[in-house]
Amino acid sequence: MDNFQIETAQNISIQQQVAGIGDRILAYIIDALLLIGYWIISLFLVSAFGLDTNESSSIMIYFMIIGIPSFLYFLLFEAFWDGRTPGKSAIGLRVVKLDGSKPGFGSYFVRWLMRIIDISFSSGGIAVFTILLNGKGQRLGDIAAETTVVNERKKVTLGQTLLENIPEDYVPKYPQVTVFTDADVQKIKTVYSKAKRESKHNVILKLSEKVSKTMQVTPDETPFAFIDRVLKDYNYYTRE
């Protein structure tokens, strides 16, 4: 699944790591298995307590106590668990707005309502087709709610270390980066990476201001590009 880039009001570019269709299907399967388990346990308890499901009043009680929580499963979990369900949490997925912010209850409600078309009526066919064609990981419910599902799993890559992958013909811009130590740069990178991953735009803005003040420079690029340049320049000037 392709990633996409957003530009915030602070002119900070953020890369959203869109959840792959395989991860979303796996998360759904986990949630479905949990719901099946919930119904099996519920039926067992109903049988154990001798509830007569042949009586209309008993059927109504059964539906109210057992049916409604499962009916609202996805809406309640996403709305009150920061865009996650147990399945999404297990895979490392989360529902977010297209600008990286947290959706409101209305957005979660629209996603949940559109599940009838996306998943229930078409057995998930419309959702899969729309996600594959959309490019931003959106099914119809996401498009209507202006949301998407991102992958928040941490991967052990070159980007998690102090080392930056820079080309041989790289031209540095800020020799002032040498005022920092390895420990300083590692802290900068840790804060920067975490802020990008969690879409905390103000953190990146404040980090950029603090770093530029320490270096005594006035950046002419966005905070995102400036911190990225600082990390690369430090590697350039300190490598043997």
The pLDDT, as a whole number, for residue 74 is 94
Give mean pLDDT, residues 125-132.
89
pLDDT cut 90: percent of the chain above it: 34
Distance CA 227, CA 232 (A): 9
- State how far the alpha carbon of 100 is from the alpha carbons of 146, 176, 199, in Å: 11, 32, 6
Strand blocks (E) in 142-226: 147-151
User: What is the pLDDT, as a whole number, of residue 48?
Assistant: 73
Helices 105-115, 73-80: crossing angle, 10 deg rounding:
160
Taking 80 as the threshold, does the pLDDT of residue 229 lie above it? yes
Q: What are the distances in angstroms from CA 206 to CA 210, 217, 233?
A: 6, 15, 20
pTM over 0.75: no
Q: Does pLDDT of 239 surpass 50? A: yes
Give residues with Cβ within 8 angstroms of 151, minimum separation 6: 17, 18, 19, 20, 23, 91, 92, 93
Mean pLDDT of the 49-61 span = 61
42-47: list long-range contacts, CB under 8 Å, 24+ apart: 42/66
User: First and final CA of the chain: distance in angstroms?
Assistant: 37
Say whether pLDDT at 226 is over 70. Answer: yes
Q: What is the pLDDT of residues 80-127, one digit of tens each?
A: 998 999 999 999 999 998 877 789 999 999 999 999 888 888 888 898
198 three-state secondary structure:
coil
Residue range 180-216, pLDDT digits in tens: 888 888 889 888 888 887 778 888 999 999 999 999 9
**Of 195 and 240, more confident:** 195
- pLDDT at position 79 is 93
Question: How many Å apart are CA 11 and CA 3, to the nearest integer?
Answer: 19
pLDDT band at 49 (very low <50, low <70, confident <90, very high): low
Question: What residues does 94 pair with on adjacent strands?
Answer: 150
94 and 23 Cβ atoms separated by less than 8 Å: no
